[in-house]
């Protein structure tokens, strides 16, 4: 189950809503989903969902969707044979420029640089293991 910090003292009563949002995003992040889609899935208006989710987690729903997609893309970029285009499309992004900007914002480097860094680190570990 995802972790989130409780900001609002009444948030314990709202946990089922937050958990429903997490589950919906987890099951659908690779598809083109919007705030309206999430709100419809959990049975609330977009405005109510936005307010409640932010008070309970400190994060907007749309930010959670982006964060989940970035994690998925980063995981894919660590796999051999996965290129940047495959990673961003598989993670649910539809625009390479937007994906790259969000990836840099969350990870601190471009997706291509991240991929190279992960493979360089892996090669260094393998080389070190082979020399022991």
Report the sign of the C-alpha dihedral through residues 18, 43, 102, 116, in that order.
positive
Q: pTM for the complete prediction? A: 0.80
Per-residue pLDDT tens digits for 84-115: 999 999 999 999 999 999 999 999 999 999 99
**What is the tens place of the pLDDT at every residue in 42-73?**
999 999 999 999 988 899 999 999 999 999 99
Q: Which two tokens stand for residue 46?
A: 């977009």
């Amino acid at each position: 189950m995802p972790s989130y910090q409780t900001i609002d003292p009444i948030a314990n009563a709202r946990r089922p809503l937050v958990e429903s949002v997490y589950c919906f995003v987890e099951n659908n992040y690779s598809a083109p989903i919007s705030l309206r889609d999430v709100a419809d899935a959990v049975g609330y208006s977009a405005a109510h969902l936005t307010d409640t989710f932010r008070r309970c987690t400190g994060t907007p729903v749309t930010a959670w969707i982006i964060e989940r997609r970035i994690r998925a893309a980063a995981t894919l970029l660590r796999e051999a044979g996965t290129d940047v285009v495959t990673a961003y499309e598989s993670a649910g992004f539809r625009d390479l420029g937007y994906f790259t900007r969000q990836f840099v914002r969350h990870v601190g480097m471009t997706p291509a640089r991240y991929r190279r860094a992960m493979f360089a680190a892996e090669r260094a570990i393998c080389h070190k293991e082979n020399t022991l």
